[in-house]
Amino acid sequence: MIIKRTQLLISFYIFALSGISTALFSEEDLDAQFLEAGNANQDIDGANKPNWGMFGYLENENYLNISEKKVIPERDIIKLETRARLNFKYGSLFNYGLFSGDIFFYPLHRSNFNPQENKDWSIEPYEFYIAFGEKLQFKLGKQVFNWGSADAFRITNYLDTRDLRELFMKEEDERYRGNYAFDIKYLTGDISFEAAILPVITPVLFPAPDSYWAIRQPPIHSLEPRVDNSSMPEPSYKNISVGVRSGGTISFFDFYLSFYRGINTNILFFPQTVLSMLQVPQAINLKLDYSLVTKYGADGAFTIGRFSIRTEVMFSPDQKALVKSDTSSSIQLLNGTPVILLEQKRESAPIISYTGGIDYIYDGNSGRFLIEYSSSRYLKNKNKYVKEFFTDFLFISLENKFYNDHLELKGGSILRPISKNPGWAPAFSISWNFLNGLKVSLGSMMFSGGDDTLIQMFENNDIAYLKAKKDF
């Protein structure tokens, strides 16, 4: 099996190398770019003059299913997507506005090519705000916060919305989407204080039901579940979310404390089974918990030589949990027909979540090794509750650059070592950076579900991909 997969991968790489085109994304912070642009646009007397700019990148992604035993046999092509990230800014150093958005285009109108809801194309704002101030900064509009210190698992990033439309294949700048907020930040020396008010939280983004990334593993009765986001609360003063974060750099140590009170942003499904009056299963809906929760967090990082250690911890006294083997039933009308709804019970429970990671820089500054682990534990009656959807993940990554940073090799895996037969998903990629904003990548990811119910969803759906990005 592995030999045949390897042969398929080699054939794919040879084919892809013969015809490639697209882009490299600059991971530099947008605000930092704009502040630098403001400094570069000053009059001779030092006064800031208004300036505007546009930058971004163009990207093309092509994914193939290389498994011999596919879950859906006709799905050889998983994804054909062209995407443009456009950033527009107007203003000066101390006051400016930003629009950052994504334009997605899919050449064929087929849902399995598209992790979104059967769209040929779409436009999504990533950030859209106005900002002003220097030491005391104000920002109003749609923003991405990226709170936390960890690399892979940011459990103290309460304010952003997760994008799970391509669960394992998201780039770092694609894992979260912004929320509309009023943000205040005060900077004094190496210490900062930040407070944000969010009148509404954007629902977690899930893939289209018929796409490759859809949650498809049937928990009972061979019915495919459907994610139901209808429980998202309506905007009101009772559902306003508030986040506070303060900290900074002391010597070689970065440390932050944070607090959050608002809509739960963790992924907690509570299954709702729809039965006919004859108690025949009709559907399974995975509803999300959007109750109000309180969270206290801390995150930090420090460097010793070439080692960097990063950690995050979060405690919630009232996060909702699913009670094992405990359901409630009710009779409701569905399209005028009486049906029985079975729902798994939830109750508040104190929980602690934590992330720890170490990365090592080697071979000058070209190589990097990273290992990071994230988990959650209920503090009382822990055997009473079902584990969270995203927990007990171990991430390992090794990368290096050669030929004056033109050639980049990456390898790694995500796994959940929670059973005798853990699930894991190894990945490998090779990229060539032309150092003019053009970068092409060939890669693959394979899935071995083991006893892991999450990774099992992608069993026999191994991926080979070709990506190209061009920044401008």
Q: What is the pLDDT of residues 207-216, one digit of tens each?
A: 877 777 877 6
Mean pLDDT of 139-146: 95
Q: What is the pLDDT of residues 22-46, one digit of tens each?
A: 332 333 344 444 444 434 444 444 4
Q: What is the pLDDT of residues 358-372, one digit of tens each?
A: 999 999 889 999 999
Q: What is the pLDDT of residues 422-461, one digit of tens each?
A: 889 999 999 999 978 899 999 999 998 888 877 887 887 8
316 DSSP β-pair partners: 351
- 106 vs 179, higher pLDDT: 179
Distance of CA 214 to the CA centre of its chain: 15
Tokens of 141: 């509009």
Q: Is the dihedral of CA 431, 170, 378, 300 positive or negative?
A: positive
- 198 vs 269, higher pLDDT: 198
Give the separation between CA 77 and CA 57, rounded to whole angstroms.
24
Give the separation between CA 359 and CA 151, rounded to whole angstroms.
9
Q: What is the pLDDT of residues 89-126, one digit of tens each?
A: 998 878 889 999 999 888 765 555 666 666 778 888 99
- 198 vs 167, higher pLDDT: 198
- 262 vs 51, higher pLDDT: 262
Q: Are strands 95-105 and 438-445 parallel, antiparallel or unpaired?
A: unpaired
Amino acid at 209: P
Q: What is the DSSP string of 405-456?
A: TTEEEEEEEEEE--SSS-EEEEEEEEEEE-SSSEEEEEEEE--B-TT-TTGG
How far from 8 is each of 2, 67, 75, 311, 444, CA to CA, in Å?
10, 9, 16, 39, 11
Give the separation between CA 143 and CA 128, rounded to whole angstroms.
7
Contact criterion met (CB below 8 Å) for 361 and 367: yes
Which of 204, 180, 347 lies closest to 267, judged by CA?
204
Looking at residue 19, what is its pLDDT? Answer: 36
- How far the first Cα of the chain sits from its last, in Å, is 42
Mean pLDDT of 380-400: 89
Which of 328, 335, 331, 214 lies closest to 271, judged by CA?
328
Tokens of 229: 């986001």
Q: Is the dihedral of CA 37, 38, 41, 42 positive or negative?
A: negative
pLDDT band per the 50, 70, 90 thresholds, residue 49: low
Looking at residue 149, what is its pLDDT? Answer: 93
Helices (H) and strands (E) in the chain, counts: 2, 23
Tokens of 470: 């061009």
Contact criterion met (CB below 8 Å) for 65 and 212: yes
Contact criterion met (CB below 8 Å) for 461 and 73: no
